[in-house]
Chain A
Amino acid sequence: MIPFAVRRLAAAVATAWVASLLAFFMFWTVPNVDPSYFLGGERHGTDFTRAQAREKWGLDDPLPTQYVRLMGDILSGDLKCFYGCASLREAFVEALPVTVSLVAGAGFIAVGLGVWLALICVRHRGRWPDRAITALASAAYSVPSIVLAALLWAFVATKWQLLPAEGYVRLTDNPYEWARHLILPWTAAALPFAGAYVQVVRASLLSAVDEDWVRTARAKGLPERKVIRRHVLRNGLIPPVNIWGLDFSHAFGGFALYVEVIFGLPGVGLLTADTVGNFDLPPIVALAVYLAIVVVFTSALVDIAVAWLDPRIRRARPSS
């Protein structure tokens, strides 16, 4: 277990490093960057002001020097924006718990709902509850969470004012208000995923139902409830767990962005949207690096958790 975790974390560090390199090349060198045009003043400035800007920002230094300097600034939290910005690292650290609340809650709802409904499907396989739930699940999967979030915000929160339309309250300050502010974002983010998970888990459980050991369990007289819990669920949940892990780490840079924008949740998604709207390159690189770290380490932690649950994975080589 420990060697697997160490290997997986080492792979995560390597991935984060490569991601920082890629972020540097993609956002700093490839896109025709000559920031001196923007920094030189009005109408691209004069040759003199541009030369001054190049000097000040060190844009003529060799790329490795620029890379080291930029990453040093980003990681030390002492980022120098072209147009001036507050400390992005502190803002990011402050925003992270909001997004973690959103993503974890939505993930919990999506997985819980998905497994629960899939179990009902499996228990009544081929009969009407199965068919109704499967149809409902694919319908839920077809409503993108951006539409769901927009409609819930517009009607439930703004028009009928049943729940708060924006803002966030810390869990430690007031758990009830925390949940009230997050119910709609959770619903919007979770439902499409729940729809997808019902189908994935159902298919996986159905293939587990036909295994020999399940037949043996039934033959030895185990009640159906126990058969499903002990023999079907434990094996049938292994493939979906990997999908959940990927979705969970992706959520930080996926639905979190627009759900937080729509509901005005001050998380990393809103921070990203705001930063990107300012059209300033250094903070874009910085956010790419911060979010890469979050995504890469979340998926590493999820993998380690999965390996802890399923010993067979521990022996396999970890993939990136």
Chain B
Amino acid sequence: MGPWALAFRRLRHDRAALVFGSLSLLILLALLAAPLYASEVAHTTPVENHLSDRIVIDGRPTYVLSLDGFPIGPTWEGSYFLGADENGRDLMVRLLYGARASLAVGAGAVLLSLLLAVPLALVAGFRRGRTDAVISRLFDLLWSFPALLTGVLLSTSLTLHGVDVGPFQIGSGSKLIPILVIGLVYVPYIARPLRGQVLALREQPFVDAARASGMRPAAVMASELVPHLWTTLLVLSTLLLVNAVALEVALSFLGAGINPPEPSLGTLIDSGLDRKDIIFSPHLLLAPCIALVLIILALSGLAEGLRRALDPHRTLADFQVHGR
């Protein structure tokens, strides 16, 4: 029985992991179906204002925004399921799109982190010596600064002027900026544990054998080392995804992530934090908060389950991402 089959068997008997895994899957499906929900059920888009619309509740026509400007609360029906916001936009649609944006940015950032961290960690751990010292110093430096602060500062200066480095050109306001920022900031969080594993792996006899048979270092890394790192990468990247989503929310909340009117969970929380909204329309704050907690709960439960299944000896137990 291979290690993957064993891991799968462990996962299958792990009730908590199964529950959180199916919850994650459910959330993912709901987010993928967001455009369908918007066009077929709610008949609107996330950014469409309905300042003077009326809908029928209990057979009576009701204004989406009352005459004093207060949005209606949850109707628990197709349109305005969770109520409207101060511009008469459907909160459920905005929530689905916002969570989608937050998760997409998080996933993109994790992918970018992996793309940068894996080669760096492989080279540092495999070549050791001066290369390792330089790369590791770089990780240490980035590691010693709080992710959120680096993210906010970087994102602001990038947003201010766009990115124009050689072939990379990103306009200001692009969703690629938060992806770039979060992806860069989290590189050491993947690369540091990975480098440790590579350092240990390169002393194994099979690596000696590969090198003795004349394989070039790049080939040794690709075909001998990488296959041993898949489980670590899977566990690390799911754990990191949770934090990347949380970081995106914090960045957008501070106005350094996804820009309004396009929704993100962070901007939704921010706009729900209005003094008069708290008294009259608490749904504007409660809905994104509950959605964020559900997403984080589901993803971190899944991540912990994967860790238990794929890392039974708990070599990754110390891994913890800071700055939630």
Chain B residue at smallest Cβ distance from A246 = B322
Q: Is the Cβ of A146 less than 8 Å from the Cβ of B269?
A: yes
Q: Is the Cβ of B289 less than 8 Å from the Cβ of A150?
A: yes
Chain B residue at smallest Cβ distance from A277 = B255
Q: Is the Cβ of B157 less than 8 Å from the Cβ of A296?
A: no
Which DSSP category, helix, strand, loop or mixed, fits chain A's interface?
Answer: helix
Chain B residue at smallest Cβ distance from A30 = B165
Which of B66-74, B203-211, B278-286 interfaces with chain A?
B278-286
Q: Is the Cβ of A147 less than 8 Å from the Cβ of B149?
A: no
Q: Is the Cβ of B148 less than 8 Å from the Cβ of A253?
A: yes
Query: A26 an interface residue at 8 Å Cβ cutoff?
Result: yes
Given the interface contacts A32-B163, A33-B161, A277-B255, does A251 sit within 8 Å of B146 by beta carbon? yes
Chain B residues near A252: list those with CB within 8 A.
146, 149
Q: Is the Cβ of A253 less than 8 Å from the Cβ of B137?
A: no
Task: Provide the bound-state CA to CA distance between A262 and B158, in Å.
Answer: 25
Task: Provide the bound-state CA to CA distance between A83 and B272, in Å.
Answer: 31
Q: Is the Cβ of B273 less than 8 Å from the Cβ of A150?
A: yes
Q: Is the Cβ of A284 less than 8 Å from the Cβ of B153?
A: yes
Chain A residues near B182: list those with CB within 8 A.
none
Task: Provide the bound-state CA to CA distance between A150 and B292, in Å.
Answer: 12
Give the total of B residues in contact with A, Cβ under 8 Å.
53
Q: Is the Cβ of B157 less than 8 Å from the Cβ of A253?
A: no
| Interface range on chain A (Cβ under 8 Å from partner) | 35 or more
Task: Provide the bound-state CA to CA distance between A66 and B296, in Å.
Answer: 44
CB distance from B40 to the nearest CB of A (A): 30
Q: Is the Cβ of A144 less than 8 Å from the Cβ of B140?
A: no
Task: Provide the bound-state CA to CA distance between A3 and B269, in Å.
Answer: 49
**A residues neighboring B (CB under 8 Å):** 15, 18-19, 22-23, 26-27, 30-34, 138-139, 141-147, 150-151, 153-155, 158-159, 192, 196, 200, 203, 239, 243, 246-247, 249-255, 257-258, 261-262, 272-273, 276-277, 279, 281, 284, 287-288, 291-292, 295-296, 299, 319-320
Closest 5 CB pairs of A and B: A253-B149, A253-B146, A320-B140, A32-B164, A250-B146
- With contacts A141-B324, A143-B296, A253-B146 known, what are 11 further pairs, Cβ within 8 A? A138-B300, A146-B253, A150-B272, A158-B275, A249-B144, A249-B146, A253-B150, A258-B148, A284-B156, A295-B149, A319-B140
